[in-house]
Amino acid sequence: MSLYQQLGGEAAVNAAVDIFYRKVLQDERINRFFSGVDMEKQSAKQKAFLTMAFGGPNHYTGADMRRGHAHLVAQGLNDSHFDAVVEDLGATLKELGVSDALIAQVAAVAETTRNDVLGK
Ligand code: HEM
């Protein structure tokens, strides 16, 4: 069974969206990056983010991740911010009762996007 399926597939993504988004917006280390973001598109973005982090079906490539975050890199986005997002994601999954082993797998999937997201 894939990681995405083990976590509960689309239902798990939907459950995580609100909790994750709240954590990110309350996180003083990173919330400035989200201040100008279109709120209507935000939910779809969060779902795309979580589906990707869960190792599920997504339509994004490394090039898309580079393009999608290049304006944030220009604003100073760096490893510390990436780490904060991974931490907020882990805390979200913990709240939803996901095991530490699965959370570690999700963090490992997120890691595969680090260089693209940070434009390295
Ligand atoms: C774990 C790695 C990450 C993944 C998988 C990821 C994924 C995504 C995806 C799929 C999008 C939507 C792109 C689109 O518009 O089609 C996006 C946009 C965005 N991401 Fe990330 N992201 C990651 C890390 C981060 C980090 C570390 C930050 C900032 C702390 C961040 C902030 C944003 C913002 C603000 C947008 C919206 C940009 C806009 O609409 O202007 N992301 N991300």
Nearest CA to ligand 1 atom 23: 117
96: left (phi over 0), alpha (psi -120 to 50) or beta: alpha
Q: Which atom of ligand 1 is nearest to the CA of 118?
A: 27
Q: How many domains does the chain have?
A: 1
Dist. CA 36 → ligand 1 center (Å)? 13
Query: What pLDDT score does 102 carry?
Result: 95
Residue found under tokens 């999700």: 106
Query: What pLDDT score does 35 carry?
Result: 85
Binding site annotation covers 69? Answer: yes
- What tens-digit pLDDT sequence spans the chain (120 residues)? 899 999 999 999 999 998 999 999 999 999 999 887 886 787 788 899 999 999 999 788 889 999 999 999 999 999 999 999 999 999 999 999 999 999 999 999 999 999 999 999
Residue 63's CATH number? 1.10.490.10
- Dist CA 76 CA 29 (whole Å): 12
Q: Which atom of ligand 1 is nearest to the CA of 52?
A: 5
> In which domain, by residue range, is 20 found?
3-117
The ipTM (two decimal places) reads 0.94
